Amino acid sequence: MEQKSQTTSIVRIGDKDVKGDISIFHALIKLKGVRFSFAKAICKVLNLPLTKKIGTMSKEEIKKVEDVVENPKKYNIPNWILNRRFDPETGESRHLTGPKLDLQKEFDIRNLKKIKCYRGVRHMLKLPVRGQRTKGAFRTKGKTVGVVRKKQMPAKARR
């Protein structure tokens, strides 16, 4: 009689719990900071089939996947796949995931505001940063560029 491989219903990978019945590729994409090309590169480096269920993986294999996510340069993953190339502070390329990615994004925005460049000023004013038009969208908190009407007077005051 054959033994079936043990499957786990929930697997903790990185800082996220994922269902054990989805493929490795889709489980990796659920991590913040890991997208299609990086997930595919991880599977290729570790010689894992993209369709293998994450619940069937051993703890050692999951540790290996987490190590690749944390240290992609150690496994010769090319720089163009990483999400933080030529970091302004250190000058090296690295890949950030999870809360580290959120924190670095916040620091970058804070730096833009500090040096008062165009994007920083747009962030300060809570206006669109990437060139969108503001007449139709972003119509909140009195920053409207479009039509402004006078307030309607009550019926008694009009006479």
pLDDT of residue 143: 55
Q: Domain 10-81: give its CATH architecture.
A: Orthogonal Bundle (1.10)
Return the pLDDT at 38: 92
Out of 8-17, 85-94, 148-157, the most confident range is: 85-94
What is the helix, strand, coil percentage profile of the chain, to 5?
40, 10, 50
Distance CA 129, CA 113 (A): 12
* Mean per-residue pLDDT over the chain, rounded: 84
pLDDT of residue 1: 41
pLDDT of residue 2: 43
The fraction of the chain above a pLDDT of 70, given in percent, is 84
What does the CA dihedral 53, 54, 59, 63 come to, rounded to 10 degrees? 130
Token digits of residue 43: 């599977």
- Which residue would you say has higher pLDDT here, 116 or 138? 116
pLDDT above 80 (res 46): yes
Mean pLDDT in residue range 129-137: 83
Higher pLDDT, 158 or 138: 138
Is this structure's pTM higher than 0.75? no
Q: What is the pLDDT of residue 118?
A: 93
Domain residue spans of the chain: 10-81, 104-139
**Would you state the pLDDT for residue 8?**
77
Q: Round to whole Å and give the CA distance between 10 and 23.
A: 12
* pLDDT of 136 over the 90 cut: no
In the 8-state DSSP scheme, what is residue 31? S
pLDDT score of 147 = 62
